Amino acid sequence: MTGSIAALGAGLAVIGAGIGIGQIGGKAMEGISRQPEAAGKIQTAMIIAAALVEGVALFGVIVALLGNK
Amino acid sequence: MELVTPEWGLVAWTTITFLILLVLLKAFAWKPIMSAINDREKSIEDALLKAEAAKEEMSRLTGENESLIKQARAERDLILHEAKKVKDQMIADAKEIAHKEGARMIELARVEINNQKAIAMADVKNQVATLSIQIAEKLLQKQLEDQKSQDELVAQLLKEVKL
Amino acid sequence: MDFSHILNSKKITLSVVLSIFSLLFTYKAFAVQEQKTQEIAVESKEAEKFDPSATILEHIGDSHYFHVGGHIAFPLPVILYTNKGLEIFSSEQFEEGEKVYQGKYYKYALIKDKIKAVTGEDKTIDESAGLIDFSITKNVASMWMSVLLLFIIFFSVASAYKKREGKAPKGLQSLLEPVILFIRDDVALPNIGYKYQRFMPLLLTVFFFILINNLIGMVPFFPGGSNVTGNIAVTFVLAVITLIVVNVNGNKYYWKHIFAPDVPFWLYPIMWVVELAGIISKPFALMVRLFANIMAGHVIVIALISLIFIFQTLGIAPVSVAFTLFIDVLELLVAFLQAFIFTMLMALFIGSAVEEHHH
């Protein structure tokens, strides 16, 4: 039972990260299409931002793993 | 839970391994690699700078050469011009001298000719005079052999004289 | 690099896809089951009642044996620190975890792949031993092999640089030089600034250490198959190194920003708590990110393979293999991406610590 609840928690955390990273990716695409010459810089910034968002989601996953057993 | 609990044995071994890796790679890999890359970049940059400098030097030299050639050409022209002038001068001088000399010689010749002519004339005059006198003497002797002709002459002469 | 959002969403989409095609195959599985069960039952006892989560945990966890394939496994040396002294013996003594080994000081047994001091044959755990396991486990052995590989690669590259001084790179050298230059020009230089040279060896070592362990971890058989960077102990060490490097190199602006930020003084206590939490949470995030990404990759691959055993049919194998291939290709990208992100964020944190002016 706790395992399933932990899995739900992990899933919820991943939803948040998915939305966040989706936003970042989408906006980065917009930015690149608007300014293709800045693609390199935008990509680097995008990866960093995505990594930070993902980090928060992974905290959630880790907490879920902690609660797993 | 078990998954996210670090095992201390693995932590210790990872620390040791990573530090050894860091130290050895730093000493024997990163140092030579980075310095080689930096050196190469520097040498490439130097080479580029040198090429640029050489190019500049080249263009400078070319310019210099060109100006030298121009100068030389101008000098040559000048020399030629001068030489021509000198030549002309010389020719002119020579001509003048020759002219003068010729004139002088002509003058001399004329003077000589005149002299000779004068001498010859004088001679001729003398001879003519002598001859005339002789002729006249003879003529007079002949004409005035008789009294009558003498008288006639005197009369004629007297007639001619108008007072 | 630019598809990281897809990489992360895979964790969501994959579970959806998985559930859909497992639904599709459930009824087919029943049809084939009867013929297959007999064959599988002969093969091993566990196959009768296959527990995927146990298999997954076993594969992503550490082990005292190095499995080559099938039932062939190398025993690895066991080094135990007890309160009475050091114990060194081979993991062969456990005979696949069946037997209790009588050491010099205590009796030891393998319980769930972990060595425990026990009181007797009934495997009751003896807590008084103060046991710390310093064994050369599968992860340690695998890590040493990748380190050896790194030494071979980079010493040969370094000698190539010495031999071909001033010349254009060639072979392995020309493969790695762009990567090294990438770390220098796109990771270290923009994030750290002109002081980058001091941190280059660390950044390069971290990058290649993570990368090679990620890549070797993807090889499903010996000498790969272990989950080095997907083990929290390894990422913990890397994160602690980051924490130490960042805070040892922090200049006065960095510390001023933490202890005397531009806020009213009565807010200082709150700011201190927040900033100290920030100091810890940055490397903590690094640790968790690398660990979770690599572990998730391994989990998904084994989960996909496990489907064959869950449904006990070979009919699912092509799908399972195709998906595994897809995930493996994705993991190849993740291996590079995570090594890059770890190095990048490390450079970013170091950069924020050595920056001259904060405002």
User: Tens digit of pLDDT for each residue in B39-50?
Assistant: 888 888 999 999
- What three-state secondary structure class fits C75? strand
Please tell me the total count of domains within chain C.
3
Which residue range forms the structural domain that includes residue C193? Answer: 139-354
Q: Which chains touch C (3 or more CB pairs under 8 A)?
A: A, B
* Residue of chain B with shortest Cα separation from A64: B1
Which residue in C5, C6, C292 is closest to A61 by CB distance? C292
* Structure tokens given for B12: 């210790």
Regarding whether C128 and C144 lie in a shared domain, the answer is no
Nearest to C133 by CA among C67, C87, C92, C93: C87
Q: Is the ipTM of this complex over 0.90?
A: no
Q: What is the pLDDT along chain B (163 residues), one digit of tens a residue?
A: 577 788 888 899 999 999 999 999 999 999 988 888 888 888 889 999 999 999 999 999 999 999 999 999 999 999 999 999 999 999 998 989 988 999 989 999 889 998 988 898 888 888 888 888 888 888 878 777 778 877 887 888 888 887 6
Closest by Cα among C347, C350, C191 to A41: C191
**Cβ–Cβ of A58/C11 closer than 8 Å?**
no
Q: How confident is the model at residue C48 (pLDDT cuts 50, 70, 90)?
A: low
Whether C36 has a pLDDT exceeding 70, the answer reads no
Q: Does residue C231 share a domain with residue C100?
A: no
Q: How far is A66 from chain B (nearest CA, A)?
A: 4
Q: What is the pLDDT of residue C180?
A: 92
SS3 state of residue C116: strand
Question: How many residues does this entry show for chain C?
Answer: 359
pLDDT of residue C86: 84
What is the maximum alpha-carbon separation in chain A? Answer: 52
Decide if B5 touches A, using CB distance below 8 A: no
User: Is C278 strand, coil or helix?
Assistant: helix
The Cα of B3 is separated from the nearest Cα of chain C by a number of Å equal to 7
Q: Which residues contact C144 (CB under 8 A, 6 or more apart)?
A: B17
Do C81 and C185 fall within a single domain? no
Residue B141 structure tokens: 């002797």
Lowest-pLDDT choice from B93-107, C15-29, C199-213: C15-29
Assess whether the previous peptide bond of C223 is cis (omega < 30° from 0).
yes
pLDDT in the model for residue C271: 87
Question: Is the full-model pTM beyond 0.90?
Answer: no
The secondary element (H helix, E strand) that includes residue C78 is strand C77-82
pLDDT of residue A69: 54
C112 & C241 share domain: no
C128 and C213 belong to one structural domain: no
Q: Over the stretch C248-284, which tens digit does the pLDDT of each residue have?
A: 988 888 888 888 888 888 888 888 898 899 899 889 8
Taking alpha carbons only, the member of A54, A14, B29 closest to residue C342 is A54
The token pair at C82 is 């007890």
pLDDT surpassing 60 at residue C38: no
CB C313 within 8 A of CB C357: no
The mean-pLDDT minimum among C39-43, C104-108, C135-139, C348-352 falls in: C39-43
Q: Which of C142, C145, C232 to probe by mutation at the B interface, max B CB count within 10 Å?
A: C232
Ordered DSSP codes for C211-234: HHHHHHHHS-STT----STTSHHH
Q: What is the pLDDT of residue C215?
A: 92
Q: What is the token pair recorded at C249?
A: 């190199």
Does C265 share its domain with C185?
yes
The set of chains that have 3 or more CB pairs under 8 A with A is B, C
Q: What's the CA gap between C201 and B32, in Å, rounded?
A: 11
Top-ranked range on mean pLDDT: pick from A55-69, C53-67, C287-301? C287-301
Examine residue C72 and state whether it is found in any structural domain, yes or no.
no
pLDDT-above-70 percentage for chain C = 84
Residue C313 placed within a domain:
yes
* A2 to chain C, closest Cα gap in Å: 15
Q: What is the mean pLDDT of residues C52-74?
A: 80
Among candidate residues C125, C134, C145, the one with its CA nearest the CA of residue C62:
C134
Strands C85-90 and C100-102: unpaired
Average pLDDT, chain A: 83
Q: Which helix (H) or strand (E) holds B84?
A: helix B31-143
Distance in angstroms (rounded) separating the CA atoms of residues C228 and A41:
32
- Tell me the CA end-to-end span of chain C in Å, nearest whole number: 31
Judge whether C299 and C59 are in contact, CB under 8 Å. no
Domains of chain A by range and CATH? 2-66 (1.20.20.10)
pLDDT given for residue A68 in this prediction: 61
- Which residues in chain A have their CB less than 8 angstroms from residue B6's CB? none
* Position C58 in a domain: no
Same domain, C248 and C115: no
* pLDDT computed for residue C24 by the predictor: 41
- Kindly tell me if the per-residue pLDDT of C20 is higher than 80: no
